[in-house]
Chain A
Amino acid sequence: MGIIIFLILFPLVISLFLLLIKSDKIRGPLVIFSSIVIAASSIAFVVTRFGRPAKQLLWPGGGTDTEMVGYAMMAIEVAIAVLIIVLGIKYKKVLSSVLAFLQCGLLVWFEFTKGHEIEIASNLSVDKLSMIMVLIIGIIGTLICVYALGYMKDFAHHHSEGKDRRPYFFFLMFLFLSAMFGIVLTNNLIWMYFFWEITTLCSFLLIGYTRTPEAIRNSFRAVLFNLIGGLAFVVAIITIGNIFSFIEFDQFLEYGRTVKANGQLDIAVSLAVTLLAFAGITKAAQFPFSSWLLGAMVAPTPTSALLHSSTMVKAGVFMIIKLSPLLGVDNMGFTQSHAIDFGPGFMVVMVGGITFLMASFAAVSQSNAKRVLAYSTIANLGLIVLCAGIGTAAGVWAAIMLLIFHAVTKSLLFLSVGTAEHNIGSRDIEDMDGLFGRMPRLALFMIIGIAAMFLAPFGMLISKWAALQSVIDSGNVWVILMICFGSAITLFYWTKWLGKLSAIVANRDNIQDKVHKEEWASLGTHIVLVVLISLCFPIISDKMLIPYLSNYFQGLEPAVSAALSSDNMLIMVLLVAAILIIPLLFYGRTRKRIAPLYMAGVNKGDNLTFEGSMEQDEPVSLRNWYLADFFREKLMSRIAIIATCVVLTLTLSYHAAVGIRLIEYLLGGGAA
């Protein structure tokens, strides 16, 4: 248990140190040192606990220690609420103040009434899923922090007008890591909520880091949406606590599974699952709440990388994956045995599906690299949410695999774009042509990252494959269509970017030696991870995913092996190896004569200009397709928002009756 506490507290302590340190000379080594410690201890954590039972529950409540922790958390929660309320009033964003007040009030009320009586068997829990999350947070998260060292030097240099607020920045980054460890390792819902709120606060402050009007506006949007999710979380806690008299995640799952297995329909469980899944959806930036994640790009790139890859949004999907045994949908509208069911499974699958499709559509029309990445994050999270919502072993398998691959790859891409932006002065994809000549290594990294996002034989595609199969097996015909079209679109927007990067443009100076070595170190490690994971995903599947899934699903082996038999995995691994070796043999070698490009006979010889009319030299300028008439961003997101709102309304109103009864019950002092 010590190592768990260490994982949560160590980043916290470091973050406080970093807040106080003003000097670059101390901060650099400290960040690198503590990153190594965090990464090493998360690996150690997984290694030491690997052989133990698939699921462990730790730290029973009832002692004075947990009581003290509980009070401390409540005090901090109140402080956070006060901070948000004050800031909300200061910047005239009263709605977020109201929400913060409401949820804090509700929670404190619950803790002093019912919450006080509930016995807690275990506050912490460790299973293979939380191990995976610990590795992602511990390794990817710290890599981003190391990268931020180099990046923030440039950033502070570019934005030198105000005072250097890097201590504050690193404070928030490490605090974030600490909170994430908290979320994935706690079992007590109230504790989990505490860490959940800290991530909300950290993202709020990180997005508003530059304090420009735009940053402030976007940070309030983020906090508003996340507070809505937080409110749902609190209501879920109150529901579970009052009706079932426990507030532990594992007990809730067990109870829900028994109910489900008996074929009963317990509407209270359904309500609680819906609320928790709703909280997950807000945090995972699904439509209609996705705009906060897009707005988050005003912050420095490491923030985006952190929010998009290893933390924050991953907390949202983590929640939904944890709930997945209670989700699941039947053939929507096409079965004899089941009526149309607007339960949580329906909500999660539909929101995920619509988000996957529409966010992919919206990504087509973007030329800003970070926005493309953001939409792709939203889309991929949609896919993860969808798979988890399917609630079958194969679906959850796909969801977790997607989560792993996405975390590594997306972090790599964000950081590469950040480096490119600082060196070529633009984050526009159109300005990245010829990046292969200017920053060959960086371009190569980006190419590997993009290829890993959608091409065979890399991991994302394998997960998508399993996702498609699990959706087909679950019989959601509409979702199949969404995945088919979404995949086609994904192919389009990635490949055109890939094309831009791989273009070999003549006479470009190599400018890559200006990149900080911390950035290279971080990017290089990412590449190694991407390749490593793609090569050993069968092992990850065997040793981590299967044990986790076997806690919750029966008949697992056939389900997962039907999705991906070992020989298919082998083929994929062979292809990865091949695709790594072939370039070494062939790429960049030619004994052929290099000839200039065809430009209708008027190439000036340098491949960059042609002779226009009146003997004027015209520069060659190539632009990609953005199909703005077809896939207008605003239109796409509007459609998605309307569609997902309909889904959410259906599900929430489906549960409204029980909600009202619940309120009566609570007001009546438990008389019902």
Chain B
Amino acid sequence: MEIGLTQVLIAVAYLIFGPLLGGLLAGIDRKITAKMQGRFGPPILQPFYDVRKLFEKEPVTINTGQDFYVMCCLIFMIITGVLFFIGENLLLIMFTLTTAGAFLVIAAYCSNSPYSQVGASRELLQMMAYEPMVLLMAVGMYMINHSFYVKDIVTGDKLSFVYLIGMFIGYLFILTIKFRKSPFDLSLSHHAHQELVKGVTTEFSGRTLAALEISHWYENIFLLGFLFLFFANGTWLLALIGVVVCLLAYFLEILIDNGYARMKWQFTLKSSWFVTIIFGGLNLVLLYFFGSFELL
């Protein structure tokens, strides 16, 4: 890895524009959702107002450990995104992403609060549900481009999407979990699902909650970046198509969000593993099959 000026610039750009784009996306999300429900909806910039407001609230916490874990979650999420956008190793990125998720879960666990803990358990279950698919995708990318490095995948001349359609479908499926959309918003939801109060975030307040919200923005941009990888092959045309597909995928998630009620955790686990095995696994097997006949 050469850390040149470009990498530093990209990292800085991600640090600044990541949350801006993520927040904007969240605002558009809320607007579209409102339109789908026949409402007018909040201003596009509403997520920024919300976060700004959270910073204005009184500083309160429930114990002295929680803020630390949430900060770690944010830091690791930023590291994940930065590593991704400067073109680092996909497996490394996956592992830092997992660590960020684990910190969120621990932040909720450490409160020893009933609602938080239920949220934490569910969050953990969701992580277990999507993790295999995420790893498989990294494997698939490696097999097509013969490298785990994002920079090689982006500049590689192969169009991963063609070879990894199954993985693409699987990824769309688990994106619903990662974007915290119905029917898989078990642990935490932006809608008024009241049985859990606010799940993982029940005991977060003020700045802590704002930090978490910002980490979600970073995460969403990173996740869409990952989706973009399926289309990146170094040409502008496909880059454009990639961006369009990212936006379409996000729209699809909003549509699903509005079309479904929340499912039980059993369904979440079973269905995502089923999809992982059927689409991801089958795709992998086919890749190997063709690979061994040197068709790739």
| Closest A residue by C-beta to B293 | A336
Which segment of A147-155, A394-402, A500-508 sits at the interface? A500-508
Q: Within 8 Å of chain A (Cβ to Cβ): is B91? A: yes
* B92 pairs with A465, CB closer than 8 A: yes
Among candidates B69, B114, B139, B289, residue contacting A484 with C-beta atoms closer than 8 Å: B139
Q: Determine how close the nearest CB of chain B comes to the CB of A151; give it in whole angstroms.
A: 29
* A590 pairs with B61, CB closer than 8 A: yes
Q: Are A331 and B288 CB-contacts (below 8 A) given A489-B128, A594-B62?
A: yes
Q: In chain A, residues 461-497, which have Cβ atoms closer than 8 Å to a Cβ of chain B?
A: 461, 465, 468-469, 472, 475, 477, 480-481, 483-485, 487-489, 491-492, 495-496
Q: How far is the CA of A590 from the CA of B113 in the complex (A)?
A: 19
Q: How far is the CA of A583 from the CA of B281 in the complex (A)?
A: 40
* A496 pairs with B113, CB closer than 8 A: no
Which segment of A109-117, A522-530, A619-627 sits at the interface? A619-627
| Closest B residue by C-beta to A623 | B117
Among candidates A455, A469, A481, residue contacting B91 with C-beta atoms closer than 8 Å: A469
Q: Determine how close the nearest CB of chain B comes to the CB of A486; give it in whole angstroms.
A: 9
Chain B, interface size category, equals 35 or more
Among candidates B68, B95, B125, B291, residue contacting A492 with C-beta atoms closer than 8 Å: B125
Q: In chain B, residues 246-278, which have Cβ atoms closer than 8 Å to a Cβ of chain A?
A: 269, 273, 276-277
In the complex, chain A residues whose CB is within 8 Å of the CB of B109: 496, 498-500, 502-503
A interface footprint on B101-113 (CB within 8 Å = 1, 0 otherwise)? 0100110111111
In the complex, chain B residues whose CB is within 8 Å of the CB of A455: 98-99, 102
Q: Within 8 Å of chain A (Cβ to Cβ): is B120? A: yes
| Closest A residue by C-beta to B83 | A571
* A590 pairs with B112, CB closer than 8 A: no
Give the number of A-B contacts (CB < 8 Å): 195
B interface footprint on A422-437 (CB within 8 Å = 1, 0 otherwise)? 0000000000011010
Q: Determine how close the nearest CB of chain B comes to the CB of A503; give it in whole angstroms.
A: 4
Q: In chain A, residues 550-592, which have Cβ atoms closer than 8 Å to a Cβ of chain B?
A: 565, 567-568, 571-572, 575, 579, 582-583, 586-592
Q: Within 8 Å of chain A (Cβ to Cβ): is B172? A: no
Q: Determine how close the nearest CB of chain B comes to the CB of A243; give it in whole angstroms.
A: 34
Q: In chain B, residues 51-72, which have Cβ atoms closer than 8 Å to a Cβ of chain A?
A: 58-65, 67-69, 71-72
By secondary structure, the B interface counts as helix
* B67 pairs with A586, CB closer than 8 A: yes
Q: Within 8 Å of chain B (Cβ to Cβ): is A158? A: no
Q: How far is the CA of A622 from the CA of B125 in the complex (A)?
A: 17
Q: Within 8 Å of chain B (Cβ to Cβ): is A605? A: no
* A587 pairs with B131, CB closer than 8 A: no
| Closest A residue by C-beta to B277 | A481
In the complex, chain B residues whose CB is within 8 Å of the CB of A598: 113, 115, 197, 202-203
* A582 pairs with B72, CB closer than 8 A: yes
Q: How far is the CA of A591 from the CA of B206 in the complex (A)?
A: 13
* B121 pairs with A624, CB closer than 8 A: yes
* A588 pairs with B131, CB closer than 8 A: no
* A481 pairs with B65, CB closer than 8 A: no
Q: How far is the CA of A500 from the CA of B109 in the complex (A)?
A: 7
Q: How far is the CA of A598 from the CA of B116 in the complex (A)?
A: 9
In the complex, chain A residues whose CB is within 8 Å of the CB of B111: 503-504, 597
Among candidates B64, B95, B202, residue contacting A461 with C-beta atoms closer than 8 Å: B95
Q: Determine how close the nearest CB of chain B comes to the CB of A440; give it in whole angstroms.
A: 11
Q: Determine how close the nearest CB of chain B comes to the CB of A56; give it in whole angstroms.
A: 36
Q: Determine how close the nearest CB of chain A comes to the CB of B278; give it in whole angstroms.
A: 12
Q: How far is the CA of A480 from the CA of B273 in the complex (A)?
A: 15
Q: Within 8 Å of chain A (Cβ to Cβ): is B243? A: no
Q: Within 8 Å of chain B (Cβ to Cβ): is A616? A: no
In the complex, chain A residues whose CB is within 8 Å of the CB of B132: 481, 484-485, 487-488
* B131 pairs with A496, CB closer than 8 A: no
Q: Within 8 Å of chain A (Cβ to Cβ): is B14? A: no
B interface footprint on A600-616 (CB within 8 Å = 1, 0 otherwise)? 10000001000000000
- Tell which of A499, A588, A625 has the most Cβ of chain B within 10 Å: A499
* A499 pairs with B120, CB closer than 8 A: yes
* A596 pairs with B62, CB closer than 8 A: yes
* B102 pairs with A495, CB closer than 8 A: yes
* B292 pairs with A502, CB closer than 8 A: no
Q: Determine how close the nearest CB of chain A comes to the CB of B187; give it in whole angstroms.
A: 12
Q: Determine how close the nearest CB of chain A comes to the CB of B111; give it in whole angstroms.
A: 6
* B71 pairs with A586, CB closer than 8 A: yes
Q: Within 8 Å of chain B (Cβ to Cβ): is A160? A: no
Q: Determine how close the nearest CB of chain A comes to the CB of B74; give it in whole angstroms.
A: 11
CB<8 Å pairs between A and B, sample of 13 = A336-B292, A456-B95, A491-B128, A492-B125, A492-B128, A498-B102, A505-B112, A568-B89, A571-B92, A582-B68, A590-B64, A593-B60, A624-B121
Which B residues lie at the A interface, using CB under 8 A? 1, 58-65, 67-69, 71-72, 75-76, 79, 83, 88-89, 91-92, 95-96, 98-99, 102, 105-106, 108-117, 120-121, 124-125, 127-129, 131-132, 135-136, 139, 142-143, 148, 197, 202-203, 269, 273, 276-277, 281, 284-285, 288-289, 291-293
A472-B139, A594-B60, A625-B121 given; name 6 further pairs at CB < 8 Å. A335-B292, A484-B139, A492-B127, A505-B112, A622-B114, A625-B124
Nearest 3 CB-CB pairings of A with B = A499-B109, A488-B131, A592-B59
